[in-house]
């Protein structure tokens, strides 16, 4: 998601030629690894290890009704509408900017709430870098220690993000390998070595154990959280234009990544279940205790702090990257007219400082949950479920948009299409929508396996938090003002705006999205150059009337540190948030 800042780094014909030279640079294998690193996280494995062999069923089921539909549907959306914006653009093409803003806001808020949960795992990893396992276990369950680590690390990551994403991109890339893939390989190898060496596994073995006990409803409730394990596969859809022969290679890379992700999750979960007794599984500590038990069995107990440190590196690298990414995406959307100018403030590095600070204060407030709730484990579960709920709102909009676009823009070229025509889209998109809806509903029900205090408080926090955070972006959109739009914002209008249509009507146009965008950019590039030569105000093309007219703006007006120091940027009139999605550019 941090690509959203880079996508606006250059304008005009020269900038587009420069970007074109960088296309087709990612191989199938490289994109598959990128997707695996983006999706795979080991911190959630203990929650599913409680199910033993039946966890295989849940992983495969979630992959069939969520992961594969997300991967296939996102491939069509990304190739059909590849311009910057991701899910914001896809939902906006189908339903207009109101619902697009909701989808983008859900992504931003979901990631914000996710930070305390992933940093809790980081705090536990930090606690287990000690040499006394008893003291480590006590420290990892100390609410004050966890809260302190969450706040210190997050605020540090925020100030690092002020420097711009490029400063730590390589650290984030290697952090995913060192902190996720290598520890996952160690976990699987040692766990299965423990089992095949003849040790008694801590779970019931047999094919009959693979099918869950559906009479126990609480099993289904906790299993709903597995959907979040697979979230994020659509994030790398932005790289579709960087893949050779994307029609074939992009979906192939996604499917390879999906298979690899399922294998890692299944084998990692079973490795924990083999070693840790079901009654002793703890959501925040069991991964580290599994490593401790395995290393002690292998006679290399000294390696436990090393792996704990590697896991901590992975957490820190991921947090630093995600601090900048969603905030940059929201900034780009906000500058197109969806947020007040206060939230569009940027520093000399082009980072949205006010959005980053708001995000940091929200994380700080959420950290208080660790003091209010009875245990770190309870807080971890509640925040994880709220993250699932908000993320699923975005996915529900995405699946609905993909189905709707097959009818509202039936002739729009899509280099990759979901197999099976419109019926195939209904199958993949419909299954994904229903699977997401099922997980959404189950996420509000307290699980029996985890003590979360009062069930009423648990449900109240989830319902209240979800309602508030869904209403908030709708209120912001309803009160938007014309002057919110930054005349220097570079955001290509939706195709229905460029063609003077409405998202609620059928558009029979067969013009490729990229062609429409290129014509739009060339028109305003040439107009701006003519205006600059003739002394007219950039951004107001002469002779432009009707829906393509833009207000004049003096150079620099409405911009607070664009991060493009030393270069004059072309002012282009961009679409603002149309009322009800009906007004074009």
Q: 246-275 and 286-298 helices cross at what angle (nearest 10)? A: 70
pLDDT confidence of 332, banded at 50, 70, 90? confident
> What is the model's pLDDT at position 331?
85
Phi, psi of 346 (to 5 degrees): -125, 155
> What is the model's pLDDT at position 165?
54
Who's near 60: CB < 8 A, 6+ residues apart? Answer: 262, 266
> What is the model's pLDDT at position 451?
58
Of all helices (H) and strands (E), which one includes residue 503? none
3/384: higher pLDDT: 384
Q: What percent of the chain has pLDDT over 70?
A: 72
Of all helices (H) and strands (E), which one includes residue 447? none
Greatest Cα pair distance, the chain, in angstroms, is: 84
Ordered structural domains, the chain, with CATH: 3-482 (1.20.1740.10)
Stretch 533-554: mean pLDDT, rounded?
Answer: 38
- 256 has pLDDT over 90: no
Q: From the CB of residue 57, how many other CB atoms can be counted at a distance below 10 Å?
A: 15
> What is the model's pLDDT at position 372?
63
| CA distance linking residue 184 with residue 264, whole number of Å | 7
- 491 has pLDDT over 80: no
| CA distance linking residue 406 with residue 507, whole number of Å | 10
pLDDT confidence of 546, banded at 50, 70, 90? very low
- 253 has pLDDT over 90: no
> What is the residue-averaged pLDDT of the chain?
75
- 430 has pLDDT over 80: yes
> What is the model's pLDDT at position 473?
92
Stretch 501-522: mean pLDDT, rounded?
Answer: 80
Give, in order, the Cα–Cα distances in Å from 283 to each of 155, 203, 387, 422. Answer: 25, 17, 16, 42
Q: What's the start-to-end Cα distance of the chain, in Å?
A: 26
Strand, helix or coil for residue 16 = helix
Q: Are 142 and 124 in contact (CB under 8 A)?
A: no
Q: Are 99 and 397 in contact (CB under 8 A)?
A: yes
> What is the model's pLDDT at position 574?
35
Buried/exposed code over 16-40 (b: 16+ C-beta within 10 A; e: otherwise): eeeeeeeeeebebeebbbbbbbbbb
> What is the model's pLDDT at position 475?
93
Closest CA to 283 of 375, 387, 364: 375
- 399 has pLDDT over 80: yes
DSSP class of 454: -
Stretch 173-200: mean pLDDT, rounded?
Answer: 83
Condensed to tens digits (0 to 9), the pLDDT of residues 337-361 reads 888 989 888 888 778 889 989 989 9
> What is the model's pLDDT at position 282?
61
Range from 142-151, 205-214, 253-262, 502-511 carrying the lowest mean pLDDT: 205-214
> What is the model's pLDDT at position 142?
77
| CA distance linking residue 93 with residue 105, whole number of Å | 17
| CA distance linking residue 54 with residue 59, whole number of Å | 9
Condensed to tens digits (0 to 9), the pLDDT of residues 472-482 reads 999 999 998 88
Give, in order, the Cα–Cα distances in Å from 477 to each of 114, 341, 474. Answer: 24, 14, 5
> What is the model's pLDDT at position 395?
94
pLDDT confidence of 194, banded at 50, 70, 90? confident
Condensed to tens digits (0 to 9), the pLDDT of residues 104-157 reads 999 888 888 888 877 877 787 777 776 676 777 777 777 788 888 888 888 888
């Amino acid at each position: 998601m941090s690509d959203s800042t880079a996508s606006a780094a250059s304008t005009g014909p020269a900038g587009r030629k420069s970007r074109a030279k960088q296309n087709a640079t990612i191989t199938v294998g490289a994109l598959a690894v990128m997707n695996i690193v983006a999706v795979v996280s080991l911190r959630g494995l203990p929650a599913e290890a409680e199910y033993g062999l039946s966890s295989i069923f849940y992983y495969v089921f979630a992959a069939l009704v969520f992961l594969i539909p997300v991967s296939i549907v996102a491939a069509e959306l990304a190739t059909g509408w590849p311009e910057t914006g991701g899910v914001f653009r896809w939902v906006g093409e189908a339903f207009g900017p109101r619902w697009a803003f909701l989808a983008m806001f859900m992504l931003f808020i979901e990631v914000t709430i996710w930070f305390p949960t992933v940093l809790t795992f980081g705090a536990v990893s930090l606690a287990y870098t000690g040499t006394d396992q008893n003291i480590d276990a006590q420290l990892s369950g100390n609410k004050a220690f966890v809260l302190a680590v969450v706040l210190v690390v997050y605020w540090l990551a925020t100030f690092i993000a002020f420097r711009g994403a490029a400063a730590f991109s390589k650290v984030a890339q290697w952090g995913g390998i060192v902190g996720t893939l290598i520890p996952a390989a160690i976990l699987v190898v040692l766990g299965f070595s423990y089992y095949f060496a003849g040790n008694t596994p801590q779970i019931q073995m047999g094919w009959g154990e693979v099918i869950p006990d559906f009479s126990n409803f609480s099993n289904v409730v906790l299993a709903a959280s597995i959907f979040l394990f697979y979230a994020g596969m659509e994030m790398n859809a932005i790289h579709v234009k960087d893949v050779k022969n994307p029609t074939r290679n992009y979906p192939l890379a996604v499917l390879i990544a999906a298979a690899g992700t399922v294998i890692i999750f299944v084998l990692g979960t079973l490795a924990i279940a083999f070693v840790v007794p079901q009654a002793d599984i703890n959501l925040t500590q069991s991964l580290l205790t599994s490593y401790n038990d395995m290393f002690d069995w292998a006679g290399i107990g000294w390696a436990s702090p090393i792996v704990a440190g590697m896991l901590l590196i992975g957490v820190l690298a991921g947090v630093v990257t995600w601090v900048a990414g969603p905030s940059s995406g929201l900034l780009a959307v906000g500058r197109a007219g969806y947020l007040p100018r206060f939230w569009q403030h940027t520093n000399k590095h082009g980072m949205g400082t006010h959005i980053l600070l708001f995000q940091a204060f929200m994380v700080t407030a959420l950290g208080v949950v660790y003091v209010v709730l009875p245990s770190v484990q309870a807080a971890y579960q509640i925040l994880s479920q709220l993250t699932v709920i908000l993320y699923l709102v975005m996915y529900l909009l995405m699946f609905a948009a993909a189905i709707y676009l097959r009818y509202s823009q039936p002739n729009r070229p899509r280099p990759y299409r979901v197999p099976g025509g419109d019926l195939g889209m209904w199958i993949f998109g419909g299954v994904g929508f229903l699977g997401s809806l099922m997980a959404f509903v189950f996420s509000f029900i307290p699980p029996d396996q985890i003590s979360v205090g009062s069930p009423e408080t648990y449900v109240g926090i989830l319902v209240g938090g979800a309602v508030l955070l869904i209403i908030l972006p709708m209120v912001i959109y309803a009160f938007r003002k014309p002057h919110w739009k930054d005349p220097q914002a570079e955001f290509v209008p939706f195709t229905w705006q460029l063609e003077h249509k409405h998202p609620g009507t059928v558009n029979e146009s067969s013009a490729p999205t990229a062609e429409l965008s290129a014509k739009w950019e060339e028109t305003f590039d040439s107009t701006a150059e003519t205006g600059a030569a003739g002394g007219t105000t950039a951004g107001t093309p002469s002779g432009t009337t009707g829906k393509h007219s833009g207000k004049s703006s003096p150079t620099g007006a409405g911009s607070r540190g664009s991060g493009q120091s030393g270069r004059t940027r072309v002012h282009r009139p961009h679409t603002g948030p149309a009322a009800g999605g009906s007004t074009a550019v």
